Structure 1
Amino acid sequence: MSDTPLPRGGARRWTPARYRALLRAQGPRSVRFRTRLAILTGAVAIGLAATIFARAADAAAEVFGGYAARHPWAPLVTTPLLFAGLVWLTRRYVPLARGSGIPQVIAAQADPERGTRSLVSMRTVIGKALLTLVAVLGGASVGREGPTVQIAAAVMGLSHRLLRVPLRGAVLIAGGAAGVAAAFNTPLAGLLFAIEELASAYEQKVTLLVIAAIVIAGMVAQSVQGDYVYFGLIGAHMPLVSALVAVPLAGVIGGIVGGLFSRLVLTLATGTHRVTRWTKRQPIWFATACGGIVGALGVATGMTWGTGYGAARAMIAGVDAPLWFGPAKFVATLATAVAGLPGGIFAPSLAVGAGLGNLLHALLPGSPASAIVILGMVGYFAGVVRAPLTAVIILSETTVSRGLMLPMFATAFIADGISQLVCREKLYHGLSRTFAMPARDAPGASPPA
């Protein structure tokens, strides 16, 4: 037997060969190291991109607000023309940039490598960002959150391509969810959105790298924009007796109206009856008509332009608003969503929900106004996107109303159940079918819609 003692604990000796093997497995040139670096750099870039896009959208909204104040009747002409121009530009140059952006990310998960060259390519998302900003300049009822999700997924895909590492569907989920976290300054909502909506399965494994992307992007955005709360420090709460009446009302009404919105959008996007056939044959004229509706509502009310953030924040703070705001904003958002131009529905949906909450408060005058408005927002948002956990956490993080958590959860789950009765298919997943890519080399695969 050899008298050479073994290293303490029986560990193997560190030899040059073992060092080289370790470097190959985990060193700077290894796939594992480059994957982590791709996630890190992608998440930082997403935080910066989301911040720049948010500030540009806010600036565009201010420009339009000044224009509408100086020329109150002009949008009757300019908004329809802008809708027509945007739809022509989108169809001509970046057809995959139309709509929210979230359906594209869902569809791209089927083949991430191909998706990053089409649905979430840099060409597509640059066009998406520019055209969304133009839509905001024209007074369209669009939000920036959906486009931010598509932009974020493209940025994450680009970081992986530059570092030459394999791209998985989970990476696009991470990018999209990081976009939500950065857009709203809501990291928990971003994580739940990844599980509940983008992955569409609670059993989906969310790795530490995915969570890290969400947290890093949110931290970068927060460091640039400051530690802010999206709707302000509201801290709403509600007595149990009031909640027993308000929660079922908000859940049922939000589910019905939100489900109706989803059903109308999906019908016009995927339907085959005479009206939808005409809209597909004459997309420019249809967009012009939609722009006319948005322009007429905006001129008549002065409140339905853009995201509706200002009106929603005022109602959450307890400021009385006209009872017609919710229905008017619903129509403006619907007309914008079906027109075919780029832009999201997150923020406008929250504004519609605030309007519904304002209507509910008129029926329940003894209840706290802020709490009723927030429940209306949760109910309608959950009814539209059918992601009840995301709806609750977004409103909880954007208003710091943690004392309202149980009523919000109850409202969201009621709204989700009622919405399924009105519209069986989830909105974003239904729309993702219009962007679906056929499986590579699959026999009998149909061409993309």
Structure 2
Amino acid sequence: MRRSQGILPHFQHPAQVIVAGFGAAALLGTALLVLPISTESGESAGWLTALFTATSAVCVTGLAVVDTASHWSAFGEVVIAGLIQIGGLGIMTLATLLTLLVAGRLGLRARLFAQAETRTSSPTDVRHVVRRVVVFSLTCEAAAAVVLTGRFLLGHDEPFGRAVYLGVFHAVSAFNNAGFALWSDSLMRYVADPWICLTVAAAVIVGGLGFPVVFELLRTWRRPQRWSVLTRITVAVTAVLLVAGTLVFLIAEWHNPKTLGPLDDPGKFLAAFFTAVMPRTAGFNSIDIAGMHPSSRLATDLLMFIGGGSAGTAGGIKVTTFGMLAFVIWSEVRGEREVNIGHRRLPDTAQRQAVSVTLISLALVALSTYLLMALTPHSLDKVLFEVVSAFGTVGLSTGITADTTPAGQVLLVLLMFIGRTGPLTLGSALALKDRTRRYQLPEERVIVG
């Protein structure tokens, strides 16, 4: 069969283009950040530091081996913000937009590539979806930037230019679930400021819901009965996790002098809610992560592993995967042959994909935790926290990132990359072609448990 022509003809599967696109963006960012102009000192940051930071930015993670505010120059910070924007929108979304602007039309191959990144239902609607994704993203970022700029300007006496810079940078970082901040303590100095904390939290939640869910909610928010299964699961699981996370952190950290203890009651509720939102997966923190009780860090591990919505800026296995598994278990416990959600039946393929994503992710986290423990002297809870944060593209840390060995930092780079592109996406990108078995073997029941 003759190879079809089109953009990037050497790639036979859209997933390959996505992985290659994110890899190219990370390498380009590395090349820019390694330049002396990117640092405050005027000296090169080194290839490993540049690679780690660029990968963290383009994979919208937020982990850092150097202090973002003091180490990188204005040029370096702009590069980081640009990488965050690219990673948030998705390489193929930007490529589709560029094709529209230059050629005014899309070939079938380009539509298929963009469809894989934006999770659209049909290749024919990619053009419309990409436009809406870009416009919606920029609108949300602009709205958050306006609120943050006003607060920095009027509430914290920042000069106008500095307030605008801070507002735009943190709006982009928040909406894209990146978690990069321009202060060494992240947002801890604003722990009791509802204008900043709630604005950042709202941007994180909206960006983490996923574009298909957001668009459907905008169309049918008054008619929940018409919501698709994707929207129902995403909204329900997100709400449950936010409420449960807030309660867990309130109960566990209420009297902790290193976290919520010094705050008044409204401040404690605000900080607990903010802390429950960030594992969705944005790496901002308004309380000291290292000072949290081990039980709170374990709860954060679980929230980071689950992550946010599909086809959005969040990482993790996604709330839809977690929700589907919950319904699969519920149906199995009740002895039902089919898995039903609302008035719809969940396909067997979706169930297998959910199980595969979860088990592959668990195996990857377990293996990476073992390797990182062998490479560093840190305790299990801190290493596990770092690994899950990297895989879930969260960016929260107990402070051991910079102390990790070079080999450990390379491992975290790989985790961030895999966490953003997805275990199944990466696996399918490495596969040369799909293999279909043209026969069925006899069925045999196996004892489970």
Query: Under TM normalisation by the shorter chain, which class is it?
Result: under 0.3
Identify, as 1 or 2, the structure richer in helix.
1
TM-score normalised to the size of structure 1?
0.28
Larger Rg: 1
Q: Comparing both chains, which one has the higher relative contact order based on Cα–Cα distances under 8 Å and sequence gaps of 6 or more? A: 1
